[in-house]
Homo-oligomer: A and B are copies of this chain.
């Protein structure tokens, strides 16, 4: 059980062993995780780390402690995998209380070490059985799946076997197998209010749509299951958010991945995902109720103008228009035209513009 993962990790310890045996100071090379070392991979259409490397070496005391902590962590993960247990990022930090010199000073340190380990081993923290605190969101739609839980397998239809709250995405969605579906596309929605609106209006039934609630900046598990729905079921993904710079970042994290987790882009990013609004141009075209942009909003928009991920005609035009308007709008502002407008008019228009329906 979990033998491959254990071998990958033990490899690192063996390498240190060999280095020491050869009379070398143990060290590790890791890709540098900064904006400057991020490159667009034309093949997979996602952002990945470039060739710049940082070295963690036991030459300095600080470096030696880092490698010690890495070894303790590998040791803990090894027994965790052998016993088929799991733990949270926070628990790992507390578990280190008894590791003496290898004790983490703060959780940031253990979180970062796990990212290192993901990059070195080419595994994901889910493979080490490490969970976040954040919880995933929910799914509703014409999809039947099988989830492998610790208590056995569960077959769940995401319309017929769930309440109005929907199917709760587990921490590790790779334990899910898609059994059957009747969907034409996936729609990923930022706010709970709008997700509830689509469910109430039967949007998933009328349009054969799988509704994924992003719940603000989406958790890793939410991004992962959306990616799998896209790849394995060949479904287009539409992202529907508020019309402000923070929401564009939500779209970008679904679509392009983030700098911090560029090593996971292929696992989570969906470069083909389509943004269907609310766009700044919708504010004009649909005459939506607005709020003034705040100073932070303006700064965030300006920073997006210099972000390579937003370096397209569409985004430049939309962001510049928004800066001119000085306004932002929320998804729910469509309620100005009544409770059915979003599902009967706005979404059908936007989805057919993108050739999704």
Contacts and interface: CB of A to CB of B under 8 A. Distances in A.
A85 B200 contact: yes
Contact of A95 (B171, B197, B336): B336
B171 A162 contact: no
A162 B169 contact: no
Given A91-B332, A168-B138, A97 B156 contact: no
A193 B91 contact: yes
A286 to B, nearest CB: 12
A335 B163 CA distance: 34
Interface in A42-97: 85-88, 90-92, 94-95, 97
B192 A164 contact: no
A170 interface: yes
A174 to B, nearest CB: 12
A101 B131 CA distance: 51
B197 A88 contact: yes
Contacts of A296: none
DSSP class of A's interface residues: helix, strand, loop or mixed? mixed
A90 B163 contact: no
A349 interface: no
Interface residues of A, number: 57
Nearest to A92: B335
Contact of A163 (B135, B167, B197): B167
B136 A333 contact: no
Interface in A149-184: 149-151, 154, 156, 159-171, 175-176
A326 interface: no
A201 to B, nearest CB: 9
Contact of A335 (B94, B135, B160): B94
A196 B138 contact: no
Given A88-B332, A90-B330, 16 more contacts: A87-B339, A88-B196, A94-B332, A97-B289, A97-B336, A131-B193, A133-B191, A133-B193, A135-B165, A135-B213, A154-B161, A154-B162, A162-B168, A163-B168, A166-B168, A167-B168
8 contacts: A91-B339, A94-B335, A131-B193, A135-B138, A135-B213, A163-B167, A164-B175, A168-B168
